[in-house]
Structure 1
Amino acid sequence: MATEKALKTRSNNRCELCTSSEHLSVYPVPPTSDLSAQQSIYVCQHCLSQIEGEIEMDLNHWRCLNDSMWNQEPAVQVMSYRLLHKLSSESWAQDALDMIYLEDEVKTWAEQGIAAERREGPTRDSNGAELQDGDNVTLIKDLKVKGANFTAKQGTMVRGISLTDNPEHIEGKVNGTRIVLVAAYLKKQ
């Protein structure tokens, strides 16, 4: 396989995301890939299993994205951006997203994949209850609100939420400020 050979050379026979040298394989970067080295990355089994959702995301493992996001290869930049976006509820991932620079066509490619990955389905709270527009929810933990200089305290009621196009997030007003909240940190009333 010419693609695998090119990726082995390009990556120095290491995972292009975490630098592991074990159990490596070619991963064509969705949503459309011509299976060339330019549209693929070389990844280890641990990264691949998490990318494909076979195992839960290991937050500490993905701190490697702080390095891989600076890779010169557009396909590696795209996957780094997508994974950071998926982990954006973590402050370190949001900080990396704020720093990352992508050329316009690379950013378009990265965002196409994010839109394609968004799963269709209901937004659910921490207990698995389905949320709807207009529901009232309560925060189950303190959440530091970036850019607003306050912490939304556990037990705060958020009235009349709005669903977003991402089933993991909702919008609501806390302390008079409209913010995006992670549904997993909420409990339906």
Structure 2
Amino acid sequence: MSIEEELQKRSGGVCELCGSSEGLSVLEIAPSDASANTAIYVCSKCAPQIQDTNLLDETHLNCLNDSMWSEIPVVQAVSYRLLTALGRQDLIDMIYMDDALKAYADAGLTDVSLADDVPVHKDANGVVLQTGDTVVITKDLDVKGTTFTAKRGTAVRNIALVHNNSELIEGRVNGVKIQILTKFLKKS
């Protein structure tokens, strides 16, 4: 049985993330051992978002609310990686993964953050920041487009790096996803 046949059977002929039956294909998930254990069956809308987190469509990826509960480890790992890229700490906190699966899921995050074209993000003290870190805000910041101020001392958990700007990170403050200048942050 080929990997594609195995994945079709495992998925029931639908995308393992969103449930679509359109444009399905096999996608190997790094680090891969070229087996069905490290591959998923995804639609043509989910695949590019997995391969390039700059293309994330948060509305489409609401499907991760369901796929993060998958009994298939690689599907759960991909859901974790995408939720991390989206900065959805609220959902990440609910995922249960054993240590081996967590290490596998984190390995994919590390591969992304070590890419040559990704700028280095540093906090106010010059400490290198990575996706998933927790930082503390060092100054009261007015948040544009909202009615609240991000207070000094507020912890921002599971940050996401802005890939095209080394001076910005994304995180959630008061349940709102915002971008914050790294010069106002300290890694905790």
Whether the TM-score (by the shorter chain) exceeds 0.5 is: yes
Please report how far the alpha carbon of residue 7 of structure 1 lies from its aligned counterpart in structure 2 after TM superposition: 0.3
* Aligned equivalent of 1:73: 72
Q: Secondary structure at the match of 2:20?
A: coil
Please report how far the alpha carbon of residue 122 of structure 1 lies from its aligned counterpart in structure 2 after TM superposition: 2.4
**2 CA distance for matches of 1:168 and 1:20?**
33
> Is residue 179 of structure 1 aligned with residue 155 of structure 2?
yes
Q: Secondary structure at the match of 1:49?
A: helix
CA RMSD of aligned residues (A): 2.9
Please report how far the alpha carbon of residue 166 of structure 1 lies from its aligned counterpart in structure 2 after TM superposition: 3.9
- Does the 8 Å contact 2:137/2:152 carry over to 1? no
- Does the 8 Å contact 1:162/1:170 carry over to 2? no
Q: How does 1:26-41 map to 2 (within 5 A)?
A: 26-31=26-31, 33-41=32-40
* Aligned equivalent of 1:105: 100
- Does the 8 Å contact 1:81/1:110 carry over to 2? yes
**2 CA distance for matches of 1:132 and 1:55?**
20
- Does the 8 Å contact 2:53/2:85 carry over to 1? no
Where do 4+ consecutive residues of structure 1 move more than 3 Å? 131-134, 160-163, 166-172, 178-182, 186-189
- Does the 8 Å contact 2:84/2:131 carry over to 1? no
Per-residue CA distance 1:132-164 (angstroms, 9 max, x = gap): 554xxxxxxxxxxxxxxxxxxxxxxxxx67541
Give the structure with higher Rg (CA): 1
**2 CA distance for matches of 1:50 and 1:20?**
15
CA shift in 2, pair 1:101/1:54, >3 Å: closer
CA shift in 2, pair 1:4/1:170, >3 Å: same
Structure 1: state its 5+ residue gaps. 124-130, 135-159
> Is residue 59 of structure 1 aligned with residue 58 of structure 2?
yes
Among all aligned residue pairs of Structure 1 and Structure 2, give the percentage whose two residues are the same amino acid: 39
Please report how far the alpha carbon of residue 105 of structure 1 lies from its aligned counterpart in structure 2 after TM superposition: 1.0
**2 CA distance for matches of 1:167 and 1:95?**
13
**How many pairs were matched up?**
152
